[in-house]
Structure 1
Amino acid sequence: MPTPIPLDGIDLSTHPFGWLLLFIFIVGYYFIATEEKYHIDKAKPALFIGTLMYIMIGGFYAFYGLDFIPFKNEITHLVFEIAQIFFFLYVAMTFVEALIERGVFNALKGKLIAKGYNYRELFWITGFLAFFLSPIADNLTTALILSTVLVTIEKKNRAFLIPGAINVVVASNAGGAWSPFGDITTLMAWTAQKGEFSDFLYLFPASFLGWIVTAYLLSRYVPDFGPNKEGNPGTADKIEILKGGKIVIAIGIATIAISVIAKQMMQLPPMWGMLFGLSVLQLYMYSLKRYHKQDVNIFRSISKIENNTLLFFFGILAAVGALYFAGFLGYVTKLYDTVNPTYINIGVGFVSAVIDNVPVMSAILKSNPAIDFSQWMLLTLTVGVGGSLISFGSAAGVGVMGRMHGIYTFASHMKLAWTVLIGYIVSIAVWYLQFIVLGID
């Protein structure tokens, strides 16, 4: 006989069916993490478990004759949450492909190599660009752009590409942690009024020093010779951006600005401004083709985006959403009542690396634990920076995995993850000095 289920607010985390959901998630996560071992794209197990878990929950509701209203409300909220990230990523990837088609990254590569920078110097340049671009352009878009720069400079040298990719992910996430515009989780904390806009700027020292320590450790693995010394004499030749390339850059910057303004002033989701920018890009590409006889097609750029990355996002967010709906994430927030919140917030950083940081932050904000301003800032820091501990713990990491498929993977990241962990510890130490020792409030 089935175990009785309460009709008012189901906590499946105490029911055998809930543990079955958790088991499915763990098995799927195993295949995601061992992508290289089984040669199965991470999107396949993620999409499978994400869709399966909600089908099972729907069947469970039907079997017990439960009220579907909470289930339908959760699905509606989840679809909206996924759509925001899905379409934001979709547009960001399209702009990156359009910039590639117009030769923007080839021109940048030519300029960097012509200046005689070696791999280690290029490592630092892309890292600094990622850290300071992310607070404006958001961590995902920044990671996509800078990882494209990496693979444009060098396509095979893994000694340069793997540390460079990790550096870009860490820098993008760290840069996004101290700006409400730089990361979805930081934006969530700001809109939930856990701090004023200027309050998040206090996280700059912790974010910057944590990243710089990780970058220094990673740089020791990067070769100190340059692309020009490997038999590529023509790479330093002047490469011009194709007609319209600079306008595409301007449209991209304007798209990000519109997305921010639409969110803050009009309460429109960021994806709305991004899709508007995509429409402007489409119209501009049309004018290039019609009036300037350029062989361009925006749908050609769209066809080149990493669809597996988009499907991975859908699947993993759906799977985590199922765990949240089942009640498992609620245990994380309940700990605030019994354990020092500093320890909890540090641990949440690790949780956000294993599980996507957006639903983790969402769960904590919904529970609204009674913690002070300094703890909300620590939470923002650890959730933002902690996502870098694992390759797919953040949107930036997933984006770079798609852009550098087969090079930047879970396994390649984990070999150097200790450098990220040391930087994470440094960030927390700086926060402690600022907010606890010096008493910033």
Structure 2
Amino acid sequence: MSSTEGTIHAVDLAVKPFGWLLLLIFVVGYYFIAAEEKYHINKAKPALFTGTFMFMLLGIYYALGGHNFSAFDSEIEHLIVEIAEIFFFLFVAMTYIEALIERNVFDALKEKLLKSGFNYKKLFWSTGLLAFFISPVADNLTTALILSTVLITIEKDNKAFLIPAAINIVVAANAGGAWSPFGDTTTLLAWSSGKGAFVDFLFLFPASIIGWAITGLILSRYIPEGHPQQVEGAEPVQIHKGGMVIAGLGVLTIASAVIGKQAMHLPPMWGMLFGLSLLQLYAYTLKKYHNNDIQIYKSVSKVENDTLLFFFGILAAVGALHFAGFLDYAAKLYTQFNPTYVNIGVGFLSAIVDNVPVMSAVIKSSPDLPLAQWMLVTLTAGIGGSLISFGSAAGVGVMGKLKGVYTFSTHMKYAWTIIIGYAVSIGVWYIQFEALGFYINSATQVASAH
């Protein structure tokens, strides 16, 4: 432990056996997170145990060693704020999604697709486009689940259509989330930690959509000709009263989060919680004056607590590694190698390891990077999960919906198309950000090429 200008620094545990124990606990914990299908244990359980246990051990180590707790207290306080911002943001977003589901908004969308009469190729492109443009607002997992349900409802047997169409939805959902600060947890982490202003992430749109479009174009060549069998006798779906108003309130909520962050220096969760209050007040007026109960608390109860607890646990575990000093060594990669190459590698790593801990580790290691590089790592961490079927929440969700159809092996058969799209996205980023300098930095000044 050292002190510089009165600041107490944490003990560097990365060079001590106790630090290696922490790292081992993290690796073992992450193994059980990744192997949830094998052991039939929800990933939230090992994640929450690992994150909380690591800090319990750190507290015991500091207490028994008689170390100064100032750095420890500061780390815990910072971590609580960081996790709370992500936790409450996702809580509100998921509540809105559940409310829209309860009002039949998404069922109405599914019905339109079911009755469209589209052939296989039109269904392929329409579901892909919807995935790309819904995921920036809804999370990529919810988007992928909704649209994969559409696929399996329209066509249950034609794997020649289902497999590339499922891959297209996963790639599109992840690409769509990459250019929106709240479209994916990785972008949310980067935005909430101040690595870019809201508008900065929007400049990733060209790289995201072109990369997905190239993959989609190649995959579409494997889509068979013909039409799926029409669904007969289905009851028409009506959006319940207030459904579209809630959708409008959702847009207003997102605007509140953005304006609050950029203009009022409020964390994004503040605007989201303000939006939740509007939703609750609207639910009250619907019940009182229109005798129509949207059961807002039922929607809240349907929020996936396991998902929220997973994020708590994994962010705490990464925070423990950071406090122990391990991430300082990760940051040195950016000084020893070209940051572009490191960030491209982050994308491949996020396909094997969940992109949330990977992005969290990059942010906590806090390398000194220009805005263009922060945008690149946001892009690669977001779209890199598409490279493997279980590399993203969207992929895992679709595997569950299309069991026996969309699998690891069927995904890998077409993985080369995703690698091409991944390379194209990086190429577009390089031309736009590095060669042309076409983006706006956080100070809203036109940036020059580096």
Shorter-normalised TM-score: what interval? 0.7 to 0.9
- The yes-or-no answer on 1:398 pairing with 2:399 is no
Distance 2:390 2:16 in 1: 29
The structure that is helix-richer by fraction is: 1
Match of 2:331 among 327, 330, 333: 333
Cα 1:46–1:191 shift into 2, 3 Å: closer
Counterparts of 1:42-441 in structure 2, within 5 Å, are: 42-118=43-119, 121-135=122-136, 137=137, 141=139, 143-145=141-143, 147-151=145-149, 154=152, 157=156, 167-179=168-180, 182=183, 186=187, 202-216=203-217, 228-229=229-230, 232-235=231-234, 238-353=236-351, 357=355, 364=362, 369=367, 374-389=372-387, 397-398=392-393, 401=396, 412=407, 416=411, 418=415, 419-435=417-433, 441=449
Task: Give the AA of the match of 2:117.
Answer: G
Distance 1:194 1:313 in 2: 20
Aligned to 1:25: 26
Q: Deviations for 1:178-217, whole angstroms, at most 9, x for unmatched residues?
A: 4556556557767888777766555333222222233345
Matched residue SS, 2:332: helix
Distance 1:433 1:253 in 2: 32
Cα 1:355–1:36 shift into 2, 3 Å: closer
Q: After alignment, is 238-247 or 375-384 more displaced?
A: 375-384
Distance 1:289 1:439 in 2: 53
Contact map agreement 1:109 1:153 (CA 8 A) in 2: no
Contact map agreement 1:309 1:399 (CA 8 A) in 2: no
Q: Deviations for 1:54-106, whole angstroms, at most 9, x for unmatched residues?
A: 11111111121111121121112212222222222212221122112111122
Distance 2:224 2:258 in 1: 39
1:433 positional shift: 4.1
Contact map agreement 1:177 1:186 (CA 8 A) in 2: yes
Cα 1:399–1:194 shift into 2, 3 Å: closer
Aligned to 1:9: 10
Cα RMSD for the two superposed structures = 3.6
Cα 1:115–1:209 shift into 2, 3 Å: same
Cα 1:363–1:97 shift into 2, 3 Å: closer
Task: Give the AA of the match of 1:340.
Answer: N
1:363 positional shift: 5.6
Distance 2:402 2:309 in 1: 19
Distance 1:401 1:325 in 2: 31
Task: Give the AA of the match of 1:308.
Answer: D
1:245 positional shift: 1.3
Matched residue SS, 1:58: helix
Contact map agreement 2:331 2:367 (CA 8 A) in 1: yes
Cα 1:222–1:254 shift into 2, 3 Å: farther
Task: Give the AA of the match of 1:21.
Answer: L
Contact map agreement 1:170 1:420 (CA 8 A) in 2: yes
Contact map agreement 1:94 1:301 (CA 8 A) in 2: yes
Distance 1:295 1:408 in 2: 35
Contact map agreement 2:283 2:296 (CA 8 A) in 1: yes
Cα 1:249–1:192 shift into 2, 3 Å: closer
- For structure 1, the residue ranges without an aligned partner over 5 or more in a row are none
Task: Give the AA of the match of 1:10.
Answer: V
Contact map agreement 1:142 1:172 (CA 8 A) in 2: yes
Task: Give the AA of the match of 2:102.
Answer: E
Q: Percent identity?
A: 59
Matched residue SS, 2:303: coil
Count of matched residue positions in the alignment of Structure 1 and Structure 2: 427
Distance 1:345 1:122 in 2: 34
Q: Deviations for 1:325-383, whole angstroms, at most 9, x for unmatched residues?
A: 22222222112222222222212333445556566556656666555565444334323
Task: Give the AA of the match of 2:429.
Answer: W
Distance 1:217 1:34 in 2: 31
Q: After alignment, is 366-375 or 51-60 more displaced?
A: 366-375
1:228 positional shift: 4.0
Contact map agreement 1:176 1:384 (CA 8 A) in 2: yes
Contact map agreement 1:144 1:400 (CA 8 A) in 2: no
